[in-house]
Structure 1
Amino acid sequence: MVINSACKKEGLTTSSEDSISFSTDTLYFDTVFSTVGSSTRKFSIYNTHNAPIKIKSLKLAGGSNSLFRLNVNGVPGTEFKDLEIRAKDSMWVFSDVTVDPQNTNIPFVVKDSIECSTNGNLQDVKLVAFGQNAVFHKPKAGDNSFYVDCDAIWTSDTPHVVYGIAVIDSACSLTIEKGTKVYFHNNGAIVALSNASLKVEGTKEEPVTFEGDRLEPEFENIAGQWQGIYLFPLSVDNEVDWAIIKNARLGIQADTSNAAVSSNPTLTIRNSIIQNISSIGISGRGAWIEGTNCIFANCGNYCGAFSLGGKYDFKHCTFANYAPQGFDGAALVLNNWFEDNNRNIIPRDLEQANFTNSIIYGTQTNEVVLSNDENGIFNYAFKNCLLRANKSDTNYESEEFTNCVVNQDPNFVSEFGESFMIQETSAAKDIGDLSAVNNDLLNLENDLNMNARTLDGKPDAGAYEYTTLEE
């Protein structure tokens, strides 16, 4: 793990005026969960002199008791002697860390340093890791899934880290309290079986977050780091309030409503953000989904995909696809059919798909994809929405589109960050239907930032109301 050039060997410099230099003075390890090894960090040691130089000693100050580890020349250890760097050359040093649990629920700092002695000069690079205790949920050895306790409650005291697939068994529930942070390792997921329920109880001040367990800055906006949340066929009464779901392969999927057991939607999702997903943000497959005050943004295939029929109702939601990672799916797709194993098209009735006071926009010329099998019911309606649509593909002048604004810029504050707030010049401003906001049962009087929608009597489309405070 030391990279040296093949320069002709010269006499070593032994002058005390000659020392080494480093590519950094501090090696940081972002949040590291206790008992779980960090990713490896590295730094360079430079010899800027015209002759080779020898590092007499390179060692961990904490020695064998250190929580950090070193690897030099492909050899792990705590101390290395007589490391030679050729003239005008450099070498790599690699380090990682495993943090011991501590008696605290708040993040803590673990420190050490790498000390180098060269020509009588003592120099060091600081090692700093931010540790965090966590509750680990994982399958038994050799398995890839496990059942969570029936009617389990995950609290916000410490983060929860999921390895494998966490399964909510039939007739059981999993409740996730406000402020809880749930991290998923690689193929991690949550699955709710038939008659099972997922309850996410975030608040504006303390949302529930779901994301991958790679917390280094370079992974902050990398999609596809974990599998997603799957509500299997006939799961019931799933509710998601004030959640942030990001960087998954699929955000949340609800499959097949269970009307025989529950008179409630398969999934009710409110005041939530699902973004930076490598496939579909929110998916309904013959399900009943109701959504209000939500952002579904920047997804590889579709931000919203509602297929195999079902019932869907979204009010004051923003479906926006400006995916920065080369994805080019539409913001929304609806269909009323599926293809069986013999490639036969089987109709599945789309009983309703209503979108009110919403924004459906993105980089494609047609962000509203309608795929209808004429042998099935295909009921949909867009009311007081801002849409990007191609008339040849989506006949937005038909009776299914009421008071909609088409192909005019929503002027989001940001299309690639977490902000899909609108600017004063947005075409979504003041186009909403006031009657939807005044429905007390929907609690839509405030937007996703808790700004009032009715101060000027003209609600804006989308999850955010324009206010001068947002500029």
Structure 2
Amino acid sequence: MKRLLSFLLCFGILMFWSSCRNDFEFTPSKGNLEFAKDTIYLDTVFSTIGSSTYNLKVYNRSNDDIVIPSIQFENGINSLYRMNIDGSTGLQGAQEGKLFENVELLAKDSLFIFIETTIDISTLGALENQFLYTDKILFDSGSNQQDVDVVTLVKDAVFIYPNKDENTGIIETLVFDVDGDGTDDETTLQGRFLTDEELTFTNEKPYVIYGYAGVGAGKTLTMEAGARVHFHADSGIIVTDNGSLNINGSLSTDQETLENEVILEGDRLEPLYENIPGQWGTIWLFNGSVNNTINYATIKNATIGVLAEGNQNTTNDKLTITNSQIYNASSFGLLGRATSITAENVVINNCGQSSFAGTFGGKYNFTHCTIANYWNNSFRQFPALLLNDFIVDANNTIITNDLIEANFTNCIIYGNDNPEFLLENEGDVFNFNFTNNLLRFDNNNLEGNGNYIFDDPTFYVSNIFNQLPDFQDPYENLMHIGQVSGAKGQALALSPAGYDILGQPRDGSNPDIGAYNYTTFDE
């Protein structure tokens, strides 16, 4: 009897509770949804390259569980956008990602809509190199209809990519004389050599490179002022035997847009990727390439900004780089191997290893450069400046090569570590000189030993140690120096006095150390 009464009591409670629940009774939406934003801006994308995924949060603030009869794009199945709602792609077939019916949303709850796009600008009939593509997400219809705008700027571009075998899926790799024996060698570098028609990059359209764009023997790749070059992951430029790279930027009037500089960076245009290191490979000036010049360029977010190797004994320098900036390299900003580099008004900062490394000997002359390293993404093994004259082969044999000269005049060599320059030699010829530089070096274990005898005028003349450079914001690559900088007015006066990286005349008597003249900013 007791069991029967207990059963009847529980059954009655369940029946009462069930009769009061309306959790699964959805009422039609009344057009009172709320949205986290009224416009979704999908940041600029290149034609035919898919965007990142963006999201929109939709709220039901009411006390009722509702059903939204339809969520769709205004352009219907012809929309170039696609969406996913809380993991669902909606109706199948042509309407997939375009139309969703009877979307349920509980009281006081929300849902996520994820939006992406891939747009071929040629299908839009656009006459310009960029096109603003818009659509709307429509919620419900009739008097209850609400909408959210979706906007994307699409840029046309010149695409350079290796060929792919349709049958095997194998992607073309570069073939050239790697070891200098006169015979072409197979490599694993995906890419192809530029045709003669592709050897001039203009400012008319951006260039997007997949794999390595090769500059063949005896060819010259020229980048004109204002050119924009974007690299996909594991991509870059390689200049081979007797080939040359000439980047011919010029001074910009607007330091925000840098309209006349040549800018080389990754192919992700979203702000999230603006300063992410390691998005692409390198500009590789291969052994045998000659007469490479870079003027007014910004090279950012590479693995190695510029890699120059070989040809240290040629009449002309392997690389002359002026008025340029290299930032956010995940490894080295500028790496030389047994090569010759002349640099003036160059700024290098925020690199995972060294900002400049002259390795395995060579010949280097740097004047009025800012070689800094304020890397804070991970542990950094090397200082801002590294010089050595050796390599260690697979058998742990040390092989040396002469450091013919390494001269640093009127340079800032600084960073968030200490010391910020390291000199390592194993051979007999290791020639270097530091004159009128601002240096960070405070290490009792090294100072006074070997290469660190700072009162020896053969190697060190009129340098300043450990005074603050007063950078504007080195962690944001703002490397201007302020009025209280230890570099102010301390450079060796040169003739002619010349100009700083911004085209400002240098003081003829008391110039400033580094690439920038001092300036005033909020400190």
For Structure 1 versus Structure 2, the TM-score category normalised by the shorter chain is over 0.9
The 5 Å alignment of 1:244-393 reads: 244-257=298-311, 259=313, 262-328=314-380, 329-373=382-426, 375-391=427-443, 392-393=445-446
Residue 117 in structure 1 maps to residue 140 in structure 2: yes
CA deviations over 1:74-104 (Å, ceiling 9, x no partner): 3232111100012222222121122223544
Once the two structures are superposed, residues 271-322 of structure 1 have per-residue CA deviations (whole angstroms, 9 ceiling, x without a partner) of 0000111000001000000000010111000000100000000000001111
Find out whether 1:189 has 2:236 as its counterpart: yes
Structure 1 stretch 67-76 or stretch 88-97: which is displaced more? 67-76
Q: Partner amino acid for 1:19?
A: N
Q: For 1:230, which of 274, 279, 284 is the aligned residue? A: 284
Unaligned runs of 5+ in 1: 1-6
Rate the CA distance shift 1:284–1:62 in 2: closer, same or farther, 3 A.
Answer: same
Matched AA of 1:450: G
Give the unaligned 5+ runs of structure 2.
1-20, 90-95, 165-170, 173-189, 253-259
Structure 1 residue 105: Cα displacement: 4.5
Is 1:55–1:119's contact at 8 Å kept on the other side of the alignment?
no
1:171 aligns with 2:218: yes
Aligned partner of 2:187 in structure 1 is: none
| 1:86 partnered with 2:106 | yes
SS of alignment partner, residue 434 of structure 1? coil
Offset of 1:469 from its aligned partner?
A: 8.2
Q: Could you say what secondary structure the match of 2:302 adopts?
A: coil
Amino acid at match of 1:429: K
Identity %: 38
How far apart, CA to CA, are the structure 2 residues paired with 1:174 and 1:412?
35
Q: Give TM-score scaled by structure 2 length.
A: 0.83
Q: CA deviation at 1:11?
A: 2.5
Please report how far the alpha carbon of residue 45 of structure 1 lies from its aligned counterpart in structure 2 after TM superposition: 1.4
- Mapped contact 2:64–2:106 kept (Cα < 8 A): yes
3-state DSSP class of the match of 1:198?
Answer: strand
166, 186, 195: which is aligned to 1:149?
A: 195
Amino acid at match of 1:98: T
The within-5 A match list for 1:5-16 is 9-14=23-28, 16=30
Find out whether 1:46 has 2:59 as its counterpart.
yes
CA shift digits 1:413-439 (9 cap, x unpaired): 11122321110100001111112xx14
Say which of 111, 127, 151 aligns to 1:128: 151
- Give yes or no for contact 2:29–2:69 (8 Å, CA) kept in 1: no
| Other structure's SS at 1:416 match | helix
Q: Decide whether the 8 Å contact of 2:261 with 2:296 is kept in 1.
A: yes
Larger radius of gyration: 2
1:50: how far off?
2.6
Distance 1:320 1:327 in 2: 16
**Counterpart in the other structure of 1:37:** 50
Out of 471, 481, 485, the residue aligned to residue 422 of structure 1 is 481
Q: Is the 8 A contact 1:177 1:202 kept in 2?
A: yes
| Pairing 1:199-238 to 2, within 5 Å after superposition | 199-205=246-252, 206-238=260-292
Residue identity opposite 1:229 in structure 2: I
Distance (Å, rounded) in 1 between the aligned partners of 2:24 and 2:209? 54
TM-score, with length taken from structure 1: 0.92
| Cα drift, residue 118 of structure 1 | 7.5
Contact 2:480 2:519 in 1 (8 A): no
Q: Which residue of 2 aligns with 1:27?
A: 40
Distance 1:398 1:364 in 2: 25
In the superposition, relative to structure 1, how do residues 105 and 352 fare at CA in structure 2: closer, same or farther (>3 Å)? farther
Shift of 1:327: 4.6
* Contact 1:15-1:119 at 8 Å conserved across structures: no
Report how many aligned residue pairs link the two structures: 454
Structure 2 counterpart SS, 1:341? coil
For residues 14-55 of structure 1, what are the alpha-carbon distances to aligned partners after superposition, in whole Å with 9 as ceiling and x for unaligned? 473x62212221111111111222122121112222331111
Contact 2:28 2:68 in 1 (8 A): no
